[in-house]
Amino acid sequence: MNNTNTNQLANGLKLENLSSSTELSAEKVQDFQAAFSLMDSQSKGYVCPNDIIRIAEAADMTFAENEAQLLVGSADEDHSGGIDMREFISIMTTSINPQDLEEELRLTFRTFDKDGSGTINANELKRFVRLWDSELTETEADDMISQADPNKTGSINFNDFVEFLLQK
């Protein structure tokens, strides 16, 4: 987003058209647009199941094609076969039941905890953080991971993981 018109996204959507009942700051919309752009690497204007699989593979995660299709299908309000920016923002701003959030966080944690030990390697989390924010420097990523691993053990338990994700 350029600074001359913060109410318009690069793909032509206007900020005021994106906020439903939730008012979004220009900064938050920029964050959503950056995340969306990472998934929409070919600038198609939508994210399809193959994009979800590609991002998962880049993060050393396994995501089956049918799982990616279910994810996209559950968010594809206009049944276009992909998730556009408006649908993505809708997903990102939908209120979540606290029990559902905890379950989602546990599932996400288990994705990283490949050996089922109850901890994840701080370096794996750092690689994932760098994937999602490609402009993050190595030092910034190290700082973030040190916040997620306050005891400097090199591994992160579920509670540290949740605190890390919800700190913003």
**Residue 13, in any domain of the structure:** no
Instruction: Tell me, yes or no, whether 103 and 55 share the same domain.
Output: no
CB 87, CB 106: distance < 8 Å: no
In single-letter form, the type of residue at position 66 comes to N
Instruction: Tell me, yes or no, whether 81 and 136 share the same domain.
Output: no
| CATH code of 41's domain | 1.10.238.10
Q: Output the six-digit token pair for 15.
A: 């900020």
- pLDDT tens for residues 68-109? 887 788 888 898 989 999 888 887 787 767 777 788 888 888
Mean per-residue pLDDT, 118-144? 75
Q: Which domain covers residue 47, as residue numbers?
A: 23-93
* Amino acid 167: pLDDT: 64
**Residue 168, in any domain of the structure:** no
The residue from 76, 93, 110 where one domain ends is: 93
Q: Output the six-digit token pair for 43.
A: 């600038």
- pLDDT tens for residues 40-69? 888 999 999 888 888 877 767 777 777 788
The residues, any chain, with a CB within 8 Å of residue 85's CB and separated by 6 or more, are 9, 11, 13, 18, 32, 33, 36, 45
The residues, any chain, with a CB within 8 Å of residue 134's CB and separated by 6 or more, are 38
Instruction: Tell me, yes or no, whether 27 and 89 share the same domain.
Output: yes
Instruction: Tell me, yes or no, whether 108 and 130 share the same domain.
Output: yes
**Residue 71, in any domain of the structure:** yes
**Residue 109, in any domain of the structure:** yes
Instruction: Tell me, yes or no, whether 49 and 63 share the same domain.
Output: yes
Instruction: Tell me, yes or no, whether 66 and 105 share the same domain.
Output: no
For the question of whether the overall pTM of this predicted structure is more than 0.85, the answer is no
| Count of the separate structural domains present in the chain | 2
The residue from 48, 72, 93 where one domain ends is: 93
The residue from 32, 60, 93 where one domain ends is: 93
